[in-house]
Structure 1
Amino acid sequence: MTIPSHPSGSALRERMIEDMNVRGFTEDTRRNYIRCVKRFAAFIGRSPDAATAEDLRRFQVHQTESGMRPPGINSSVSALRFFFTVTLDRPDLSRRLAIDHQPRKLPLVLSAEEVARLLEAAPGPKYNAALGTAYGAGPRVFRGGGAQGDRHRLGTHADPRRTRQGPQGSPRHAVAASAQTAARLVAGGQAPRRDVPRGWLFPGRNPVIPLSSRQLNRAVHAAAEAAEIRKRVAPHTLRHSFATHLLEQDIDIRIIQVLLGHAKLDTTALYARVATNTIRTVMSPLDRIKLLTEDETRPDR
């Protein structure tokens, strides 16, 4: 028996959803976890609570042989580990699941000059403001966030649909909006209105609906082509550039971690490998000793 798609069709499915809700998982995470467990149940041909260690081994072999990429395999592992450890209280089975460890790819980053060209080539004031804010604040997925607070700060909205928070719904801090960002918002006609407290910061064609990720993605591609940027630019590239450029400005990496909403410092530390300006300015300890020695032997001392 597989997990039915109808919410009321399976007590097991409902129990797993309740467990995820208690832990504050986002809707996307809940949907993905349920999909992964349902796929596993379909593979073994019976209810997943009757699974054996051999079933898990065969399932992972099947995923590998079918050509599934590491991110997909690891997503299934996370879902099944949660299902067996939390929902079924059978951690012995979850230990049978193996993560596919792959070296993380370095993020694609634009130079400051390329960011300037990209913003200049944005198709209209609204997209110029949206892309400028995406680079100036570094949100994960920029999707018409709601405005709150004064005009110098990009706040979050009480309605969860109007903000993009961290994984599992955790709130993230936003960097204070610069004068340039505020000017872009005004120029794009997106300045927060006092008479519309729950309005979208970046509305779509219909002001009731927010600017979608797809619309923003198209705008980024169009701007990159117009600016003759040959890199494969996406909205998330602006987030990577935001973090890397802050690091190159000698901002403490733990502050950048908070601004990005990363749970682990290791994730943020990846940007240190692409912050070329910072790497170039690092002085060898040997060279530093030489400078200190020369300073001590100067005749004017």
Structure 2
Amino acid sequence: MMGLSIQKDINKKFELSGDDCVDCMTWRCQYSPPVDEHTNVAMVEELLILYRDDAPSKVGAKATSIMQTNADLKEKVAQYTLNFGALQARLDEEKKQRDEERKQREKDMKGLKAEVAVLQTKVSEAATDRKELAARSAKLEAAVVRDRDEYDAKLIDKEVKIEKLEGAVASLEAEQARSQQERAHDVDAIRLLTIALSPLYLRVLLDNARDRTLPLIQEPSWAEAVEGRTPEQLRQYVSTRFRSSGIAIPQDCVHLLCGWNRVRDRGNIAAHSATEEEIQDAILREPEADQPKLEWLFTFSFGHPPSREL
């Protein structure tokens, strides 16, 4: 039955009729599978049809065409198979890449989930810390309010004390002003007194210098040294005795010691006693031109130079 079905299909396929029809008893397939229940026209790769010797040409031409078409199809199938292999390799590579990407995404997702878990823990801890901070902040705020109230109370108390102190300071300042005014009057009085006593101090200086001179000139008193000598003779005598003693005395100082001068004249008006400090102040109040000789006499009399400060 299967052979007759194929025979009909072949005759129909190649439009064969009459004497040209294929008879299954007069042809056979070479290089093809046996004709059985699984065979159909499409499975026939090559046909070699044997006819009776009187009419083979038409079927032979058809068979040749079929064989050429089948060869073309096999070439296309080979090309399609090659293309399919390349496509399949490409698809396999893409699938492999997608699998790797999927695995990486799954790995990343696990890491993200772990990080999310850590963040959730931290958020929970932060929420707890925030509550604790809020409680501490409330306590601190209450303490600040309490401290501010206490500070305000203390500040008011200090302001009251400051007002009292300011009053006391004002009183002290007024008293100080009065004291300064009184002291200014005292200073003026002392200054005037010092000025008034300056000639006395200088006269005392001259007397002390004469007393120190007596041992040098070998006289018991200044009156005896003056007796029998003119002022010029006295000055020469004193100068000679100073040089003999190895002391260089300026001539101006000799005149002050031996002669009558305004310094001694003014000093005679005052008392005949004064301290070193008073004499030093008196020297500094004299004209600068007279100070060197007075300082020499002071050094000679007291054994040290006078101070240069009032």
The reply to whether TM is greater than 0.5 is no
Structure ranking higher in helix proportion: 2
Whose RCO is larger (CA < 8 A, sep 6+)? Answer: 1
**What is the TM-score with the length of structure 1 in the denominator?**
0.18
User: Which entry has the higher C-alpha Rg, 1 or 2?
Assistant: 2
**What is the TM-score with the length of structure 2 in the denominator?**
0.18
